[in-house]
Amino acid sequence: MARIIVVTSGKGGVGKTTTSASFATGLAMKGHRTVVIDFDVGLRNLDLIMGCERRVVYDLINVINGEAALHQALIKDKHTENLSVLPASQTRDKEALTREGIQAVFDELAKDYEYIICDSPAGIEHGALMALYFADEAIITTNPEVSSVRDSDRILGILQSKSRRAEQNLDPVKEHLLLTRYNPTRVEMGDMLNVEDVQEILAIPLLAVVPESKDVLKASNHGVPVIHQQATDAGQAYNDMVARFLGAELPHRFINAPKKGFFQKVFGSRA
Amino acid sequence: MNSTLTSKQSSAAFQLKGGIYTLTTLELHSSCLSSLSQQLKAMSEKAPHFFQQTPVVLALEKLPAAIDAHTLTAIAGRLRESGMILVAIRSSEQYKLSADRAGVAWLPSQKARPEKNVVMMKQSEQPIPVESHESAQPSQKNETVSEPMPGASASETRIIEQPVRSGQQVYAPGDLIVLSQVSPGAELLAGGHIHVYGPLRGRALAGVKGNPKARIFCHRFEAELISISGQYKLTCKTEQSSWSRHWGKSVLIKLAADHLHISRL
Ligand SMILES: Nc1ncnc2c1ncn2[C@@H]1O[C@H](COP(=O)(O)OP(=O)(O)O)[C@@H](O)[C@H]1O
Ligand SMILES: [Mg+2]
């Protein structure tokens, strides 16, 4: 049985697409057959971050509407084996996303893939509800700020009440907290919530903390998910995320501000 | 034409659903517009956002004398200015037409209801008695965790094991027991007592059908609003009152002599 995992948040710009790209890539790198689907109909940027925008011919909506076969719309990733991307349409109306249509696409994908990753649009409207409806697990992507935490809480409520699992009284959607764009220096200054604050409010298990990092934007601009760059903090954080998701027990990293540098250690701080 | 239109038809444009809502009732005691305005102003200074987009039922039974349509329009205008949205007029039949003209629903007077069932919702020093009652309405309710079970007895206790999240509302006809946390923006409603064995960060309204003996118990008091039998209090950490001392603590809240009292458990 394929696992359907939604990457969601309520709030926009928190790092859902960045996370979907690296998480899906990471699962595939570990040998799991994975497909990542862009549900952000109208915006379409997963393909940019995955670096396959030039190869988009058909999209999710074409498949749902029967205008293209699934295999025509799926794009095989160039860098990673076992990985495919199902892009969103930039032009069409979100209402074209129907439960029946998505169900049919998922049923077909489930024959070939172990993990189906759904990159949700922001908000709690139709597109976001469709992206989470079939989920078995949810990556609650949250930034360390009050508004993002509040929106994540709201999404958790919706997962509990409006997902297929909730409606059919099945085991609840398994929830994971991904705290991203975490800036320990700003957290220590009190500008942002810390890990404990966020966990206290959301009360779901922490999967990983991804630090705020310039490498993320650089990687996106090159169309390479940041998990490919194992020299970077963000790349390592996503690597840890994937490993923990697959059952490894690793200590959390990137939570504390960088220690004093070499010169400060040798000569002492003169501040 | 031999096609029949049933709600089962897959192309149905809508579906009617029942839902239970807590509505604020503004019970008018005087038709004096200036004193109404004054009181509304005083209230919104205390709690600036409390009435933003709040649906309100205007009750006219307690008015000493009948009012004309013109005055009624003026009253509705003042309510709107303070952020409330008039959804219905509750009165004797004489105002039925006015309600229709104002484009709001008309509800029959509830004079016959025994006093015990009437929930007075008023802030301790506030002279406007605002009443809260539930009414069934044919529309869709959002993200409700548990709706009253059909045929459930009025004293039924509900136990909720998962967190109650922002945007969710839980109602129990009898006591409501929540074993987890209640997030900011979540709402608990109970005919009887409310017990929360985690942090209570949202709203808790006990005794909503008019039970002044109902109490609220919580493991960690960080609520946004507390109400018992319609008496309510907006609460926050920085509030200048004896209540802020109990912030984050295990407390019991009860109603005595029309006032809400908080004490440590
Ligand atoms: N860990 C991070 N550090 C720095 N910038 C980030 C990080 N994660 C995401 N971003 C940036 O935040 C913006 C929004 O990210 P995106 O993944 O598109 O969010 P969403 O899909 O939730 O709208 C992008 O410009 C992205 O480069
Ligand atoms: Mg996105």
Task: Name the residue at shortest CA distance from atom 25 of ligand 1.
Answer: A217
Residue B10's pLDDT band (boundaries 50, 70, 90)?
Answer: low
Predicted confidence band of residue B31 (pLDDT cuts 50, 70, 90): confident
Tell me the residue type at A164: R
Q: What is the CATH number of the domain that holds A115?
A: 3.40.50.300
Ligand 1 within 6 A of A232 CB?
no
Alpha-carbon gap, residue B159 to B253, rounded angstroms? 20
Domain span holding position A197: 3-267
Q: Give, using CA atoms, the residue closest to atom 13 of ligand 1.
A: A13
pLDDT at B3 over 70: no
Q: Read off the pLDDT band of B19 (50, 70, 90).
A: low
Report the candidate in A103, A183, A178, A98 with the shortest Cα–Cα distance to residue A137.
Answer: A178
Give the pLDDT score at A222. 94
Interface probe with B: pick from A132, A161, A198, most Cβ of B within 10 Å: A161
Rounded-to-integer distance, Cα B157 and Cα B168, Å: 18
CB contacts < 8 A (A, B): 39
Write out the DSSP string of A31-79. T--EEEEE--TTT--HHHHTT-GGG--S-HHHHHTTSS-HHHH-EE-SS
- pLDDT tens-place string over residues A76-113: 999 999 999 999 987 777 778 899 999 999 999 999 99
The tally of domains found in chain A comes to 1
Predicted confidence at residue B165, as pLDDT, reads: 96
- SS3 (DSSP) at B244: helix
Q: Does residue B97 come out as left (phi exceeding 0), alpha (psi in the -120 to 50 range) or beta?
A: alpha
| CB nearest to A150's CB, from B143, B166, B180 | B166
Q: Is the pLDDT higher at B77 or at B250?
A: B250
- Span A166-182, average pLDDT: 97
- Give the nearest partner residue to B162 out of A150, A154, A160, using CB atoms: A160
**Residues of B with Cβ-Cβ distance to A172 under 8 angstroms:** 162
pLDDT at A26 over 80: yes
Probe target for ligand 1 pocket from A216, A224, A227, A253, with the most ligand atoms within 8 Å of CB: A216
pLDDT at A93: 73
Q: Rounded to a whole number, what is the distance in Å from the CA of B173 to chain A's nearest CA?
A: 20
* Residue % of chain A over a pLDDT of 70: 95
Q: Enter the tokens of residue B25.
A: 């009732």
Which pLDDT belongs to residue B48? 63
For residue A221, give the ligand nearest its CA: 1
- And the tokens for A83? 């990985």
Which stretch of A79-83, A246-250, A266-270 has the lowest confidence by average pLDDT?
A266-270
Q: In the predicted model, is pLDDT for residue A134 greater than 60?
A: yes
| Predicted confidence band of residue B180 (pLDDT cuts 50, 70, 90) | very high
Q: How confident is the model at residue A267 (pLDDT cuts 50, 70, 90)?
A: low
pLDDT for A178-213, tens place per residue?
999 999 999 999 999 999 999 999 999 999 999 999
Q: Which residue matches tokens 């109902």? A: B214
3-state SS class at B194: strand
Q: pLDDT tens digit string along B188-247?
A: 999 999 999 999 999 999 999 899 999 999 999 999 999 999 999 888 777 667 788 999
Task: Tell me the CA end-to-end span of chain B in Å, nearest whole number.
Answer: 69
DSSP string, B201-244: -SEEEESTTT-TT--EEEEEE--SEEEETTEEEE--TT-SSGGG
pTM over 0.80: no
According to DSSP, residue B182 is labeled: B
Give the nearest chain A residue to B180 (CA atoms): A203
Please tell me the predicted confidence (pLDDT) of residue A259.
67
* Backbone dihedral angles phi then psi of residue A28, each to the nearest 5 degrees: -65, -40
Instruction: Give pLDDT, residue A252.
Output: 96
| Chain A interface residues (partner B, CB cutoff 8 A) | 150, 153-154, 156-158, 160-162, 172, 201, 203
In this predicted structure, the answer to whether residue B148 has a pLDDT above a threshold of 90 is no
- CB–CB of B143 and A157 under 8 A? yes
- CB-CB: which of B145, B166, B181 is closest to A154? B166
Nearest residue, CB atoms, A158 vs list B143, B180, B201: B143
Of the listed ranges A13-17, B48-52, B247-251, the one predicted with least confidence: B48-52
Mean pLDDT of chain B: 77
**Contact assessment for residue B158 and residue B139, using Cβ atoms and an 8 Å cutoff:** no
Beta-bridge mates of residue B121: B130
B225 part of contact set with chain A, CB < 8 Å: no
**Distance from the A238 Cα atom to the nearest Cα atom in chain B, whole angstroms:** 28
Q: Whose CA is nearest to atom 9 of ligand 1?
A: A15
The finding on whether A12 has its CB within 6 A of some atom of ligand 1 is yes
Rounded to an integer, the average pLDDT of A126-149 is 96
Look at residue A233 in the predicted model and tell me its pLDDT: 97
User: Mean pLDDT throughout B144-163?
Assistant: 66
User: Is the per-residue pLDDT at B132 higher than 50?
Assistant: no
Pick from A109, A117, A121, A86: which is nearest to A24 by CA? A117
